[in-house]
Structure 1
Amino acid sequence: MIRPKSPFRRIAAVAAGAVIGIGTMATFAAPASAHHPEPSGTYCLASDGQLTVTWKVGNSENIFAKITAVSSTLSSPLSGDLKVGATLEAKGGKRLSATQTHTLSDPKQKPKIELTVEARWERPDRIVTEHRTVAATKSGKCAAQPTPSPSSPTPTPTTTASPTPTPTPSTVSPSPSTPATETPTPTPTATTPPAEPVGTVESTCDELTFTIENPADGKTVVMTLTPNKGEAKTLTVEPGKTGSVSFDAVDGLTVTPAAEGLDDTEPIAWEQPAECDKGEGGGLPLTGTNTTLIAGGAVVLLAAGAGLFLVARRRRLRFTA
Structure 2
Amino acid sequence: MIRPKSPFRRIAAIAAGAVIGIGTMTMFAAPASAHHPEPSGTYCLASDGQATVTWKVGNSENIDATITAVSSTITSAFTGGDLKVGATLKAKGGELLTATQTHTFSDSKKKPKIKLTVEARWERPDRIVTEHRTVAATKSGMCAAQPTPSPSSPTPTPTTTASPTPTPTTVSPSPSQTPTESPTPTPTATTPPAEPVGTVESTCDKLTFTIENPADGKTVVMTLTPNKGEAKTLTVEPGKTGSVSFDAVEGLTVTPAAEGLDDNEPIAWEKPAECNPGQGGGKDEPALPLTGAATGGIIAGAVVLLAAGAGLFVMARRRRVRFTA
TM-score, L = length of structure 1: 0.86
Q: 1:320 to 1:277 in 2, by over 3 A?
A: closer
Q: 1:179 to 1:261 in 2, by over 3 A?
A: farther
2:247–2:287 contact (8 Å) kept in structure 1: no
2:318 to 308, 314, 320: 314
Secondary structure at 1:20 match in 2 = helix
- Partner Cα separation in structure 1 for residue 316 and residue 309 of structure 2: 11
The offset of 1:5, in angstroms, is: 7.6
What RMSD, in angstroms, separates the aligned Cα atoms of the two structures?
A: 3.1
> Match for 2:241: what amino acid?
T
Offset from partner CA, 1:278-304 (integer Å, 9 cap, x none): 539965655534547624632540441
Name structure 1 gaps, 5 residues minimum. Answer: none
- Partner Cα separation in structure 2 for residue 83 and residue 57 of structure 1: 11
Q: 1:320 to 1:72 in 2, by over 3 A?
A: same
The offset of 1:215, in angstroms, is: 0.9
> Match for 1:310: what amino acid?
V
Question: 2:220 maps to which residue?
Answer: 221
- Partner Cα separation in structure 1 for residue 178 and residue 221 of structure 2: 57
2:46–2:142 contact (8 Å) kept in structure 1: yes
1:277–1:286 contact (8 Å) kept in structure 2: no
The offset of 1:231, in angstroms, is: 1.6
RCO comparison, higher one (Cα < 8 Å, 6+): 1
- Partner Cα separation in structure 2 for residue 179 and residue 81 of structure 1: 64
> Match for 1:121: what amino acid?
W
- Partner Cα separation in structure 1 for residue 147 and residue 11 of structure 2: 80
Q: 1:118 to 1:163 in 2, by over 3 A?
A: same
The offset of 1:166, in angstroms, is: 6.7
The offset of 1:75, in angstroms, is: 2.4
- Partner Cα separation in structure 2 for residue 121 and residue 74 of structure 1: 27
Question: 2:309 maps to which residue?
Answer: 305
Secondary structure at 2:99 match in 1 = strand
Secondary structure at 2:249 match in 1 = coil
Question: 2:230 maps to which residue?
Answer: 231
Question: 2:29 maps to which residue?
Answer: 29
Question: 2:118 maps to which residue?
Answer: 117
Secondary structure at 1:17 match in 2 = helix
- Partner Cα separation in structure 2 for residue 278 and residue 9 of structure 1: 44
Question: 1:72 maps to which residue?
Answer: 72
Secondary structure at 2:262 match in 1 = coil
1:215–1:241 contact (8 Å) kept in structure 2: yes
2:249–2:282 contact (8 Å) kept in structure 1: no
304-313 or 117-126, larger mean C-alpha shift? 304-313
Secondary structure at 1:317 match in 2 = coil
Name structure 2 gaps, 5 residues minimum. Answer: none
Question: 1:279 maps to which residue?
Answer: 278
Identity %: 80
Question: 1:17 maps to which residue?
Answer: 17
Question: 1:63 maps to which residue?
Answer: 63
> Match for 1:238: what amino acid?
E
Q: 1:154 to 1:268 in 2, by over 3 A?
A: same
The offset of 1:11, in angstroms, is: 5.5
Question: 2:189 maps to which residue?
Answer: 190
Offset from partner CA, 1:117-175 (integer Å, 9 cap, x none): 1110011111110011111222233322222333x2232341544646879xxxx9998
Q: 1:305 to 1:240 in 2, by over 3 A?
A: same
Question: 1:158 maps to which residue?
Answer: 158
> Match for 2:237: what amino acid?
E
- Partner Cα separation in structure 1 for residue 180 and residue 161 of structure 2: 36
- Partner Cα separation in structure 2 for residue 213 and residue 200 of structure 1: 8
